[in-house]
Amino acid sequence: MSIFLGIETSCDECSISVVERRSKNNFFVLGIATSSQEKIHQPYGGIVPEIASRSHLETVLPTLVEAVKQAQLSLEKVDAIAVTQRPGLIGSLLVGVTAAKALGYAYKKPLIAVHHLEGHIASLFLQQRQWDDFPLPMLIAVVSGGHTHLHYMPFLPDQWPIDFLKTSLIGRSRDDAAGEAFDKIGKLLGFPYPGGCWVDQTAKNGNPKAFSLPRALSQVDTYDFSFSGLKTAVSLLVNRLQKEGSFEDHIPDICASAQAAIIDVLWSKISLGILKLKCQSLGVVGGVIANSYLRKKLECDWESLFLKCPPFIPPLAYCTDNAAMIAVAGAFRFEQGFFLRPDEYLSLNALAHS
Ligand code: KG4
Ligand code: ZN
């Protein structure tokens, strides 16, 4: 049984979590505090990096205090500190990495530098399941605001090679990420940033067949995605409806049609991967798996297509950026010996790119 402190500040969420590893496959969140910057960035329609890092500076300590208070333990009891080191906004990452170093140095704890996407994949292990519940190989879809990746996972994370994310990557978006497409379409429709959850909510009152929108690369034999054409198509549609004076009435239909286009493309590439690579299970992680239409499709439609290939998704609370997933990813890497001692990590730097 070991305890990990996770720190995540790669973008606009300042999140700190205390996670207990109760057995190899059983992680329990003792405490988690997340300070969202959504409201701060909303007037700008997107994240302003300088404002993000300044806000992290203000919130990192109160967030730590809250997480540790929830966990009801002293920082002395923590076995190691896991921090998102890459990729992300450099100023934001630096706040988390510096806080992790300072805490680690003060409490003499090892430090684990975590890749943000490994964190998202590790969020699958925050559900209480048996190790054997993950039949391998597993196809992993990472669908977030910054990434749309497909990974082929023949081993569980305790056996991941250090370059797992590179060697396992079979497909990615050639332009916008799926979450980015949701957000850009949300912006065109006048929703606050980030638009994904607004499009999701509004789509519930719309008809997904109201407008025919492009599903790029869906008929092509590639695992790559492309979402920028969809954004352009929605922009042209919005202009046309505005000229006709019927834009406002059609917002729910546009949301439902655009959402269906994004999810259809994800669905077709995931299905292609499962069939061609003979995957035995599916994991979908990242902010877009919070989408209610995608979650419902996985719950209701998946089994009829791929009966012997169970789908796994993280609990809703751990879909978008959070520190619990970073603590879990750190725990796997710690077990493999990928950690640094206080005299080794003071020169460790944050990296904007992976
Ligand atoms: O994983 P995440 O928190 O941050 C990144 O690592 O990028 O994902 C954020 C993304 C945003 O683009 C947001 O709009 C999208 O996840 N998102 C959603 C929903 N909730 C969050 N997209 C569609 N439907 C949702 N309900
Ligand atoms: Zn993320």
Cβ(60) – ligand 1 distance below 6 Å:
no
Chain segment 75-86, per-residue pLDDT in tens? 999 999 999 999
CA of 179 to the centre of ligand 1 (A): 5
Given the structure tokens 């429709």, which residue do they identify?
189
Structure tokens at 109: 């704890």
Structure tokens at 180: 């980015």
**Per residue in 102-141, is it b (16+ CB within 10 Å) or e — as a string?**
ebbeeeebbbbbbbbbbbbbbbbbbeeeeeeebeebbbbb
> What pLDDT is stored for residue 129 in this prediction?
67
> What pLDDT is stored for residue 33 in this prediction?
98
> What pLDDT is stored for residue 26 in this prediction?
83
**What DSSP state is assigned to residue 307?**
T
Residue 31 to residue 5: CA distance in whole angstroms: 9
Ligand showing the shortest atom-to-Cα distance for residue 263: 1
**What ligand 1 atom has the least distance to the C-alpha of 146?**
7
> What pLDDT is stored for residue 131 in this prediction?
58
Cβ(286) – ligand 1 distance below 6 Å:
yes
Structure tokens at 236: 């042209």
Cβ(119) – ligand 1 distance below 6 Å:
no
> What pLDDT is stored for residue 36 in this prediction?
95
Q: How far is CA 1 from the centre of its chain?
A: 26
Per-residue pLDDT of the chain (354 residues; tens, 9 = 90+): 899 999 999 999 999 999 999 888 789 999 999 999 999 999 998 899 999 999 999 999 999 999 999 999 999 999 999 999 999 999 999 999 999 999 999 999 999 999 999 999 999 999 876 655 789 999 999 999 999 999 999 999 999 999 999 999 999 999 999 999 999 999 999 999 999 999 999 999 999 999 999 999 987 889 999 999 999 999 999 999 999 999 999 999 999 999 999 999 999 999 999 999 999 999 999 999 999 999 999 999 888 888 889 999 999 999 999 999 999 999 999 999 999 999 999 999 999 997
**What DSSP state is assigned to residue 160?**
-
CA of 304 to the centre of ligand 2 (A): 30
**What ligand 1 atom has the least distance to the C-alpha of 195?**
14
> What pLDDT is stored for residue 243 in this prediction?
98
Predicted TM-score (pTM) above 0.75: yes
Cβ(253) – ligand 1 distance below 6 Å:
no
> What pLDDT is stored for residue 45 in this prediction?
87
CA of 291 to the centre of ligand 2 (A): 14
> What pLDDT is stored for residue 127 in this prediction?
82
CA of 14 to the centre of ligand 1 (A): 15
Ligand showing the shortest atom-to-Cα distance for residue 288: 1
Contact 20, 102 (CB under 8 A): no
CA distances from 148 to 95, 172, 180, 201, 242 (A): 26, 5, 10, 22, 31
Cβ(146) – ligand 1 distance below 6 Å:
yes
Residue among 13, 89, 118, 144 to mutate when testing ligand 1 (max atoms within 8 A of CB):
144
Cβ(179) – ligand 1 distance below 6 Å:
yes
| Closest residue by CA, ligand 1 atom 13 | 196
Ligand showing the shortest atom-to-Cα distance for residue 47: 1
| Closest residue by CA, ligand 1 atom 10 | 145
CA of 183 to the centre of ligand 1 (A): 8
> What pLDDT is stored for residue 290 in this prediction?
96
Cβ(186) – ligand 1 distance below 6 Å:
no
Cβ(288) – ligand 1 distance below 6 Å:
yes
Within 8 A by CB and 6+ apart from 72, the residues are 30, 31
Ligand showing the shortest atom-to-Cα distance for residue 227: 1
